[in-house]
Structure 1
Amino acid sequence: MAGRQKEKVTPDEVHQNEILRELYLKELRTQKLYTQYHVNPLRKVHTITRKPMSWHDNLEEPADARFLHLIHHAALEPQKKYTETQTENQEIGWHSEPLVDPERQDHRLNHFKVYNDITLYKAKLWSLGEDDHRK
């Protein structure tokens, strides 16, 4: 009888119910309902965001003029922040005014596309994806 296996006994509904009841009681003992939230004093936190849709977000807070000035100053272009370049890479394009006043009527500086009959025909063919007019 050494090769005989033990039969697996399935518990009936009363035992299953008692096992579940014991499991639920253990869970209820270890659970704790938190309604007050606070910052962990042992952990350094720089900022705490507010909860979305909470009532305190609708309150008007006075604007901090110094903070707003710093934010607006940081968003400026480098030419408006500094009087001269801070790095060598900023030297390229620091003075961005054009050297020659661009006049649209001056044909020496502006070369617009001019279409004749044949160039217009070929441009239309190319826009349709045709490489050869004999196709």
Structure 2
Amino acid sequence: MAARRGEKEPLDAVQLNQLQTERVRKELKSQRLHTEFSVNPLHPVHTLTKKPMSWHDNIEETADEKFLNLIHHAALEPTKKYSEPQTESQEIGWNAPLIHVDRTDRRLHFPRRKTDITK
């Protein structure tokens, strides 16, 4: 059966195999195996700093107590860091919580519940 104008006839398995072997042969001809590598003297090399969180860079270094205390102090909440509020928005609720925590009030307390479905 003749193909219409602009349409190609589908290839059979033999023709597909010939196309694939030709393609593989051309690819293998152009590939080269490199086993030795060196730095290009014409290309400038930029040194990179070490990664601060990598475990192998920090093995020999001792922990700086002053730095660790600074990090732990920065992670504290503002009421434990400072004796008085630092901003206007911190003044709200600085000395006492805004609402009394009542565990029996079901509007604000959602404890986990066990039911037959969740067991």
Q: Identify the TM-score tier after normalising by the shorter chain.
A: 0.3 to 0.5
**Whose Rg is larger?**
1
TM-score under structure 1 length normalisation: 0.36
Give the structure with the higher percent helix: 1
